Amino acid sequence: MNKYGAEFFGTFWLVLGGCGSAVLAAAFPDVGIGLLGVALAFGLTVLTMAFAIGHISGCHLNPAVSFGLWAGGRFPAKELPPYIIAQVLGGITAGGVLYLIASGKAGFDLSAGFASNGYGAHSPGGYSLLAALITEVVMTMMFLVVILGATDQRAPQGFAPIAIGLCLTLIHLISIPVTNTSVNPARSTGVALFAGDWAIAQLWLFWLAPIIGALLGALVYRFIGSEKQ
């Protein structure tokens, strides 16, 4: 059970750290951390957890990553259900803790979105469903290429957490205006269940697109990373 516990707590930290930065600190009066700060917060959650639990569970923290590692031949199919359950439960628990903290401030309003992912009227920049779909697929695809490449036995050892954390930061810098950045169904679910309404109605996209993107990323790395000439 160690690895499932590690995935639970790792995903808890990702959602609490990343979404917490967006809900509590992004627009804090006068000294808000803004888009750059939120992007960095998400990257730091993965970087810190990769060093903390990478040797225990592999530090997936993301159902799409688990699917991508399976498609890339790095993860057994039988482990997918328990990993995904642990990740989603970790995300929901973090959403609950964040709700308890955020609701302690007068004027707190879930209608602001609670860091949920969305498209159309619920995209931060008003981007369409198609734009959101393409963004989430492509960003997750590139995330998996970086993960598979950085953890390849031929890559420099010990630096994978840095590359992966910085990649997630870059992904957020690109795509927060489009979808508020998911690339992670557990992250999306963890806050959508508390935001309710439209966030739950649009949640399907933030499961479908990241998983498709992860599978594509695995295929890309199998092609470019093959040792066969």
Domains of the chain as residue ranges with CATH: 3-224 (1.20.1080.10)
Contact 168, 82 (CB under 8 A): no
- Residue 182 main-chain phi, psi, to 5 deg: -105, -80
> How high is the pLDDT of residue 229?
45
For residue 49, give both structure tokens.
Answer: 């957890």
pTM greater than the 0.75 cutoff: yes
Closest CA to 195 of 23, 11, 43: 23
Average pLDDT, the chain: 93
The answer to whether residue 227 scores a pLDDT higher than 80 is: no
Quick one: 33 exposed, middle or buried, by C-beta within 10 A (0-12, 13-18, 19+)?
Answer: middle
Reply yes or no on whether the pLDDT at 67 is more than 50. yes
